[in-house]
Structure 1
Amino acid sequence: MSNNLQFLQKEKIVAIIRGISYENSHETAQALLDGGIKLLEVTLNTDRAFNMIADLKESYDDKLCIGAGTVMNIQMAKDAIAAGAEYLVSPNLDEAVIDYGIAHGVDVWPGTFTPTEIVRAYQAGATAVKVFPIDSLGVNYVKNVRGPINHIPMMVTGGVDINNINDYLSAGAIAVGLGGNLVNKQFIHDKRFTEITELAKQFVQKVQEGKAVTTVPSHANY
């Protein structure tokens, strides 16, 4: 098991940074870190995303695990890894991106929707898969699909909020990706970074509460 996958399983939350200004990136990262978030995904459809990844990696290398999101082809994967991305996340399944990540020692967590895509991604070498968009599928989908393929680590993204985060984790997701429900663009635009920190603390506390009351299933260690 890769170190980044272990870290993902331990921390449970990936904060997705999408569409914020480069000028606000450091304060946003610091606010999330102050709230207890340790994994950040900078999506490549964000302006100056590669600069963001490189600079955040340099500033927070020993404190945050920085990855690239919305990685949709090999060129994007190359540029993201060159910038210092420690893992790659995609909205889709592209085996070529997985191959490139493997060749360069970088985890790839591709987007999947169906059991066929989940299995294909894992067989191609993905250390975990992103089930997306999860709000179109729901908690029961996670429970049902994990019945026959519970050996494949699954992160869920798209529609996760403070009220349902533990439902997905209890259903068997190893982690969640959180976008606007955590990385609130209005707060960032208004430079209300303490409110980002408070949101992060609420999510982290919610996960800790869930860990305290959940019995770990026998298949939890991959």
Structure 2
Amino acid sequence: MTRIPFPPMTRPLIAILRGIRHDETEAIIATLVEAGLTAIEIPLNSPDPFRSIEIAARTAPDGVLIGAGTVLTETQVDALERAGGRLMVSPNVEPAVIARAAAKGMVTMPGVFTPTEALAAAAAGATGLKFFPASVLGPAGITAIRAVLPKDLEIAAVGGVSEKNFADYASAGIRAFGLGSSLYKPGMDAAEIGRRARATLTAYDAAYGVTP
């Protein structure tokens, strides 16, 4: 099975905008892109999510990965494609959903917690793995599981991760993250989101030695 590769990113950070409304999507996406984020996920348990994804895909420039989180069914994958999304993030490992998204050329990041789930996702052709909740596993737990996984899988830590603990994960060689409430909460205005995004990227660059 051909694995869709994770696109090269200087900072492999996915902004998770759970709860975003379509009427604020354009301003928030523009703010995040201006700050330097290049991957954005809108979970499907947000209000009118596919409309927001369509707006995000239209707003973001080429090279910015836009997609959906909390994807549970093949039908939702089809709707994501129609909205212009290229990233499929799920909370679980459902091989049929992963295969459907991969067949459409999408980057796929299913959620895993155990070695069994991680290996099942890899066998299904996932681009990468979303270890969630990372706050429970910690860098050491993710590293232990990573030892048995294919080397070409992108590994992302999600849940309880923020600019405050990038250094802990950097020391374990984990460089990709999904960032939710530390970056965005419903009701925040674009200015506050932009401030948080810039602070996050500054902390990431310091932890990983990135030169902007």
TM-score by length of 1: 0.86
1:140-162 deviations in Å (ceiling 9; x for gaps): 11222223336132111111011
The answer to whether the 8 A contact 1:142-1:168 is kept is no
1:123-152 deviations in Å (ceiling 9; x for gaps): 110011111111121121122222333613
Query: 1:163 corresponds to which residue?
Result: 164
Aligned partner letter, 1:163: K
The answer to whether the 8 A contact 2:102-2:125 is kept is yes
Query: 2:204 corresponds to which residue?
Result: 207
The answer to whether the 8 A contact 2:20-2:42 is kept is no
Aligned partner letter, 1:147: A
Query: 1:72 corresponds to which residue?
Result: 72
Query: 1:217 corresponds to which residue?
Result: none
Rounded to whole Å, the distance in 1 between the matches of 2:192 and 2:45 is 25
Query: 1:198 corresponds to which residue?
Result: 195
1:188-216 deviations in Å (ceiling 9; x for gaps): 2xx3x222111111111111112229xxx
Structure with the higher helix share, 1 or 2: 1
Aligned partner letter, 2:106: V
Unpaired runs of at least 5, structure 1: 214-222
- Deviates further, 135-144 or 41-50: 135-144
Query: 1:185 corresponds to which residue?
Result: 186
Unpaired runs of at least 5, structure 2: none
- The two structures, once aligned, show a CA RMSD in angstroms of 1.8
Q: Number of matched residues? A: 207
Deviation at 1:73, TM superposition (A): 1.1
**Hey, which bits of structure 1, 4+ residues long, moved more than 4 A?**
none
The answer to whether the 8 A contact 1:88-1:109 is kept is yes
Identity %: 32
TM-score by length of 2: 0.90
